[in-house]
Amino acid sequence: MQKVDVIIIGAGAAGLMCAISAGSRGRSVVVMDHANKVGKKILMSGGGRCNFTNYYAEPANYLSKNEHFCKSAMSRYTQWDFIGMVEKHGIPYHEKKLGQLFCDNKAKDIVNMLLEECSEVDADVRTHCSVEQIKKQDEGFLLITSQGKWQCQSLVIATGGLSIPTMGATGFGYDIARQFGLKVLDTTAGLVPFTLTPHLLEQFEGLSGTSADSIVSCNGQSFRENILWTHRGLSGPAILQISSYWRPGDSVGINLFPDIDLLEHLKERQQSNPKSHLNGVLSETLTKKLADRLCELWFVDFYKKPLAELSNEQMAAVAEQCQSWQLKPTGTEGYRTAEVTLGGIDTDEVSSKTFEAKKVQDLYFIGEVLDVTGHLGGYNFQWAWASGHACGQYV
């Protein structure tokens, strides 16, 4: 039997940060992960460059049943704290857009940094370690693992959500929560592409790879970024963002001309260039391929006429369709490609200060396993760093 102060299950973003935070207080820490490598999601994130935080991270960027829950941890470990660690390790980075910070080189720089910090505080990080059983004892916990029996005073669950099961994601954290009588809210895939009906896919055939700067809205939320046609449906940052607010059966509103009043613009062009055609005017903003296709699909009755021959009603119909396009997805691509899991362990069950379960002394939950989900853009890692750091101060 081996004894330590703290066992953390899950060597991802939150688990490694928690190990650093607890280890720096002199606690003996073991991090156990069943995968063959630590931080697999960090390695694959941000297209291999890891969008590790965001200059503008704040509580408004998170979805949770309790919108206040994330505030305390986020104020105690901010994006500036994490940037400080990145700079201390001399890791080159840049802002790509909208405050999103990426490594100049590889996401591996972030994993190496976390492992170096773990090693500096003597935290023992183990891969290939499966936890078979967890038993509560009078003080702390007994764990039966593939690497023997362990006893610890504090047990931290940092096993993440369900997205990308091929990367080692499991429902382990939810199972442990249920084992100890904690409420787990329904989970769904977030930051995920939409799938479309076969009819719509046929209509959009050949547009795969086309994108358009748009405002996408659903359930009172709007995001302005690109949408991207794919061979399975619609993706791109604006679609991923709105997917976290979409529920089955909902329609999504899409404005393909976010910078102009399209009706006014068409009227102006009708005056200034009466011989021009609708697809030509639309392709001043959209790609020619997209403008041509949308005209064939939506305005087949009149788009071949010169603008001079279009009625006000026809131009109003064009503006309405292009600026308030209502699209009804059939679903999402699910956990297979989702970046995050919405829902999870009910934050009412956990202290927002320490992350200890209110009903179970010495048991802690951090990171994505909790019902806190960030927008796209480095916010999910910032939550992992902030919750991991806060918890590490108390275990």
Cβ atoms of residues 5 and 82 within 8 Å: no
Taking the CB of residue 12, how many other CB atoms lie within 10 A of it?
31
Task: Please give the residue ranges that form the binding site for ligand FAD (CB under 6 A).
Answer: 9-15, 32-35, 40-41, 44-46, 50-51, 130-131, 158-160, 163-164, 168, 170, 172, 339-340, 367-369, 378-381, 384
CB of 165 to ligand FAD, least distance (A): 10
Q: Which is nearer to ligand FAD, 33 or 346 (CB)?
A: 33
CB of 246 to ligand FAD, least distance (A): 18
Q: Which is nearer to ligand FAD, 233 or 378 (CB)?
A: 378
Q: Which is nearer to ligand FAD, 18 or 295 (CB)?
A: 18
The amino acid sitting at 197 is T
Taking the CB of residue 320, how many other CB atoms lie within 10 A of it?
12
CB of 169 to ligand FAD, least distance (A): 6
The Cα 76–Cα 72 span in angstroms is 6
Name the phi and psi angles at 145, rounded to 5.
Answer: -130, 170
End-to-end Cα spacing for the chain: 21
CB of 50 to ligand FAD, least distance (A): 6
Q: Which is nearer to ligand FAD, 94 or 305 (CB)?
A: 94
Q: Which is nearer to ligand FAD, 191 or 294 (CB)?
A: 191
Binning the chain into helix, strand and coil, the percentages to the nearest 5 are 35, 25, 40
Q: Which is nearer to ligand FAD, 170 or 273 (CB)?
A: 170
In this chain, which residue has its C-beta nearest to ligand FAD? 12
In the structure, how many helices (H) and strands (E) does the chain have?
A: 13, 21
Place of tokens 């006014």: 264
The Cα 117–Cα 134 span in angstroms is 28
Q: Which is nearer to ligand FAD, 238 or 384 (CB)?
A: 384
Q: Which is nearer to ligand FAD, 329 or 367 (CB)?
A: 367
CB of 164 to ligand FAD, least distance (A): 4
DSSP string, 39-91: -HHHHHGGGGT-EEEETT--GGGEE-SSTTTTHHHHHHS-HHHHHHHHHHTT-
The tokens for 300 are 């087949």
CB of 378 to ligand FAD, least distance (A): 5
Q: Which is nearer to ligand FAD, 188 or 323 (CB)?
A: 188
The Cα 187–Cα 346 span in angstroms is 11
CB of 316 to ligand FAD, least distance (A): 41
CB of 332 to ligand FAD, least distance (A): 14
CB of 212 to ligand FAD, least distance (A): 23
Cβ atoms of residues 218 and 246 within 8 Å: yes
Q: What is the 3-state secondary structure (H, E, C) of 203-231?
A: HCCCCCCCEEEEEEEECCEEEEEEEEECC
